[in-house]
Amino acid sequence: MPMNNSAIKYSVLMSVYRNDKPAYLDDAIESMANQTLPFNDLVLVCDGPLNDELDYKISIWQDKLGSSLNVVRLSENHGLGYALNAGLPACACGIVARMDSDDISRPDRCERLISCLIEDKLDLVGGMIEEFDKTPGDMGSIRNVPLTREEIIKWARNRNPFNHVTVMFRRDAVESAGGYQPFSWMEDYWLWVRMLSLGCACANIPDVLVDVRTGDGMYARRSNIAYLKSNAAFFRELRKLGLTSRFGEFFSVLQRVLVTFMPADLVKVAYNKFLRSKAGGNIDR
């Protein structure tokens, strides 16, 4: 059972941009507002000008949450990494929970994470996600990640070892690694490997913490040449950090070359068959 951490304060860090759906943003904020361990403050970074519907939704939550909702507005859209790095200094607490603007955290997510973070003296902790299409639970598709630091380092040589939307971290550990940095589609993965190279204490817990919206766009993105180029650049940097070999770099890029030229429907089948498990089944890492 989670320990009583009611005296421990944490911040929530989110980013939103004009193409996000107001109803999804509403669900995301509500799921954080209803946590069994309440947050101290929620920093919402508006990555460039929004639309009237999003601004209206934010104004409603500002009325509900008062000063605990800190809205940071950027004059231009810069992308996720830039937006999160702009919002990090605005977080009032030394412990920060990440959240996306279109997903739904389970009620005890932050209570579970903060217990693990404190008890095990960790810098970074995350967990599993369950993907859904229209309603949570309608796909039963779980993305599992490795649990121990040793498994995380091994996994990181070829795949992202954390589900970004689930993580909670110590702000000073993230800042020591240089914070979030622009790296198309790879901002979080790039941060994790830099933290790992500095010896950060980390883990994942074997529980689903967030219900994550998915769709065909996720699979189509993996058939994108720009996405492939970003991956190739990433694994080159991973080798420079000493976390993979030249062969490991080649193998990882080759896998992604093959995926890039597969039809999106086939990519979807492959991901669900080999990289996901079914809810209620065994966790396969």
Looking at residue 230, its pLDDT comes to: 94
Q: Concatenated DSSP letters for 108-147?
A: THHHHHHHHHHHTT-SEEEEEEEEESSSTTSS-EEE----
What average pLDDT does the segment 124-146 reach? 93
Instruction: Outline which parts of the chain fall under CATH 3.90.550.10.
Output: 11-214
Task: Give pLDDT, residue 1.
Answer: 42
For residue range 96-115, list pLDDT tens digits in order. Answer: 999 999 999 999 999 999 99
pLDDT for 267 beyond 90? no
Half-sphere CA count of 258, side-chain side, radius 13 A: 8
Q: What is the pLDDT of residue 189?
A: 97
Confidence band for 151, pLDDT divided at 50, 70 and 90: very high
CA distance 128 to 146: 9
Coil, helix or strand at residue 4: coil
Q: Give the mean pLDDT of 198-214.
A: 96
- Look up residue 115 and give its amino acid: S
C-alpha closest to that of 243 among 175, 190, 172, 187: 190
Q: In one letter, which amino acid is 86?
A: A
Whether pLDDT at 278 is above 80? no
What does the DSSP assignment read for 213-229? E--HHHHHHTT-HHHHH
Decide: 39 and 11 in contact? Cβ < 8 Å: yes
Answer yes or no: are the C-beta atoms of 95 and 114 closer than 8 Å: yes
**pLDDT tens for each residue of 158-195:** 999 999 999 999 999 999 999 999 898 999 999 999 99
Structure tokens at 268: 């979807």
Task: State residue 214's pLDDT score.
Answer: 85
pLDDT at 205: 98
Percent of the residues in the chain that have a pLDDT greater than 90, as a whole number: 78
pLDDT of residue 284: 45
- pLDDT at res. 271: 60
Q: What is the pLDDT of residue 247?
A: 96
Nearest to 88 by CA among 15, 164, 190: 15
Q: Determine the residue type at 134.
A: K
pLDDT at position 54, please?
98
Beta bridge partners of 72: 45
pLDDT in tens, 207-261: 999 999 986 555 556 668 898 999 999 999 999 999 999 999 999 999 889 888 8
- As beta bridge partners, residue 204 has 126
Report d(CA 26, CA 56) in Å as an integer: 11
Report, as an integer, the average pLDDT of 41-69.
98
The confidence score (pLDDT) of residue 137 equals: 87
Q: How do strand 124-132 and strand 141-143 relate by DSSP bridges?
A: antiparallel
Residue 270's Cα: distance from chain center in Å?
22
Query: Residue 260's pLDDT is what?
Result: 84
Look at 84 and 221; give whichever has higher pLDDT: 84
Q: What does the block give as tokens for 2?
A: 């989670």
Query: If you average pLDDT over every residue of the chain, what do you get?
Result: 91
Q: What is the mean pLDDT of residues 25-35?
A: 98
User: In the numeric block, which tokens belong to residue 176?
Assistant: 């020591």
Question: pLDDT higher for 256 or 55?
Answer: 55
Q: Within a 13 Å sphere around the CA of 155, how many CA atoms are in the beta-carbon half?
A: 21
Q: Which helix (H) or strand (E) holds 169?
A: strand 168-170
Q: Provide mean pLDDT across the span 34-54.
A: 98
Domain range 11-214, CATH class: alpha beta
Predicted pLDDT at 282: 46
